[in-house]
Structure 1
Amino acid sequence: MGFSCYIVGFITMMAFFFSVLIEAKILAKTHPWMPAQATFYGDMSGQETMQGACGYGNLSRQGYGLETTALSTTLFNNGLTCGACYELKCFNSSQWCIPGTIRVTATNFCPPNWDIPSDNGGWCNPPRKHFDLSMPMFVQIAPYEAGIVPVLYRRVPCFKQGGIKFEIKGNPYWILVLVYNVAGVGNIIDVKIKGSNTGWIKMSRNWGQNWQTFTRLQGQSLSFQVTSQTGTMVQSDSVAPSNWQFGQTFEGRQFG
């Protein structure tokens, strides 16, 4: 019994590894290194618990930590890029660049500053591709004195502990679900919800990665279908029991 469980576990782990490897190759082919610029916000304390434009709450509690970035309008894509993971390296600046790369998750929006020209501080103005990093991440590729540096970036797979998380908010007439801790490609484009007494209900995106329905589902167990940017769908059955309450978070299956 023990040996067979070990074999099943090993096969499952290898299947996940190869699925991530395949996705990495797809991302590398469709998202090669591209030029952009990077700045930083905050200080080295890295205190970042405020809710950003993606809808995530406490980034440390939700597993994102300090390895995060805000994206300019061009990259943010009105919130659909929330949860995507990037690899960055300083580029073409012998004065400032520190060798090496960093990996960050998109968790916020860097708004444009229309009062300042793009070439004089309006770094997040369209059509600029820009990353506003937490300071602890920025100083891994350049000293803070640099302020702003040219970078190369590319999309990479996200690696997460555990399954996809569903935080249920709202009221009896309106359910809002924050979907986070998404592995693989990281960002999602479609969510469906199902009560134990309903069929699948397509949710609409409210903002960031908050998805909503006006169907009353209290007293029913809840299942979810989550579709990533690549079109891959993962289904989590009966994630929330029939006695679920607003404010609770539940864990489903993970991509891979």
Structure 2
Amino acid sequence: MALSPQLILHVLLVALLGLQSTVRADNFTPSSAAYYPNSKENGTGDGACGYRSFGATLNGGDVSAASVLYRNGVGCGACYQVKCTNANYCSDNGVTIVITDSGASGNTDFILSQRAFAEMGQTADAGASLLALGVVGIEFRRTSCSYPNKNISFKIDESSNYPHYLAFLILYQQGDQDINAVQLCETENLTCKLLDRSHGAVWTVVSPPSGPLSIRMLVGGGNGGDESWVVPLNNIPQDWQPGSTYDSGVQLN
């Protein structure tokens, strides 16, 4: 028996909608999450990414340690949408967190700040119930970081010793791509050298050149896309100081 064109169209439409639903579901990876038991609300101030006390306040305190997703420091600063799966307590959207540390608890992929863990709940009471559970099933996916009214910035690590040793972190990078390499360029003769990733998100150089310094970042990977060099508009000044933060003048979409 031949199928009518209307019936064929209906079957194709149902199949297409089912495929779209499958694709949306597959964007999330099932896992489990715990939280920092020794933190009052925010994350640790001494994480493996090297953010120090700043790491507990990044993204309003919605931060997390990660195990596999830490990726030897490449994952530092990456954002993920994390939502728990207990229908009695969990909201549909969950919470967006930033990776600031490395760590695991059992088979979990995330150790969230208490603040972020509770924010997966539908209400404040539901969040408290989640905290009482300690470990919950979750789904997660990579998502874009957003820092309104901020440019990418360079924070000089307190261990730096002007002018003999320079260590810095790259903060407030929007989007869903990774920083895969960093160059330090002299602004006077335009020579550049690749820097070493000391640990986590910390980039270092011994005996940095004199004069203003230009930091260039190779951005790519993440959720796909080609790599490209991002060149800041502003330089790190010649008399940079440990603990200071310098605005690059640029931001990613």
Normalised TM-score (structure 2): 0.74
| Residue 90 (structure 1) aligned with residue 84 (structure 2) | yes
Tell me if structure 1 keeps the 8 A contact 2:49–2:201: yes
CA shift digits 1:11-43 (9 cap, x unpaired): xxxxxxxxxxxxxxxxx99x8211110111147
Secondary structure of the 2:235 match is: strand
Query: 5+ residue gaps in structure 1?
Result: 1-27, 112-121
State the partner residue of 2:183. 192
User: Could you tell me how far apart the structure 2 residues matched to 1:203 and 1:196 are?
Assistant: 16
Instruction: Name the Cα RMSD after superposition.
Output: 2.6
Secondary structure, in 3 states, of the residue corresponding to 2:231?
A: strand
Check 1:168–1:159 CA distance in 2 against 1; reply closer, same or farther (3 A cut): same
Tell me which residue corresponds to 2:118: 139
Matches within 5 A, 1:107-146: 107-111=100-104, 122-123=105-106, 128=107, 130-142=109-121, 143-146=130-133
Is the CA contact 2:43–2:62 (under 8 Å) kept in the aligned structure 1? Answer: no
Structure 1 match to 2:5: none
Secondary structure of 2:138's counterpart equals strand
Which has the larger displacement, 55-64 or 228-237? Answer: 55-64
Given that residues 87 and 102 in structure 1 are in contact (C-alpha distance below 8 angstroms), is that contact kept between their aligned partners in structure 2? yes
- What is aligned with 2:17? none
Q: Give the one of 208, 212, 219 matched to 1:221.
A: 212
Q: For the residues of structure 2 that align with 1:240 and 1:59, how far apart are their CA atoms?
A: 20
Report the CA distance shift for 1:138/1:63 in structure 2 as closer, same or farther (over 3 A).
Answer: closer
Note closer, same or farther for the CA distance 1:60–1:209 as it changes in structure 2 (3 Å cut). Answer: closer
CA distance, structure 1, for counterparts of residue 101 and residue 169 of structure 2: 14
Aligned residue among 158, 170, 179 for 2:170? 179
Per-residue CA deviation, residues 110-134 of structure 1 (Å, 9 max, x unaligned), is 15xxxxxxxxxx51xxxx4511111
- Render the CA deviation track for 1:148-185: whole Å, top value 9, x for unaligned: 11111000011113111112242233211111111112
Task: Confirm or deny: 8 A CA contact 1:54 1:79 kept in the other structure.
Answer: yes
Shift of the alpha carbon at 1:63?
3.9
CA-CA distance at 1:207 after TM superposition: 0.5
User: Percent same amino acid at aligned positions?
Assistant: 26
Give how far 1:77 is off. 1.1
Aligned pair 1:244/2:240, yes or no?
A: yes
* TM-score calculated relative to the size of structure 1: 0.73
Deviates more, 1:200-209 or 1:142-151: 142-151
User: Quick one: which amino acid aligns to residue 85 of structure 1?
Assistant: C
1:69 equivalent to 2:64? Answer yes
Structure 1 residue 95 displacement after superposition = 5.3
Task: Give the total of aligned pairs.
Answer: 211
CA distance in 1, matches of 2:39, 2:203: 33
Report SS of the residue matched to 1:77: helix
Instruction: Give 1:78's aligned residue.
Output: 72
Cα drift, residue 62 of structure 1: 6.1
Structure-1 separation of matches of 2:44 and 2:111 = 16
What do residues 45-90 of structure 1 show as CA deviations (whole Å, max 9, x unaligned)?
4254612111113337864321111102x22111110000000111
Is the Cα–Cα contact under 8 Å of residues 234 and 254 in structure 1 kept in the other structure?
Answer: no
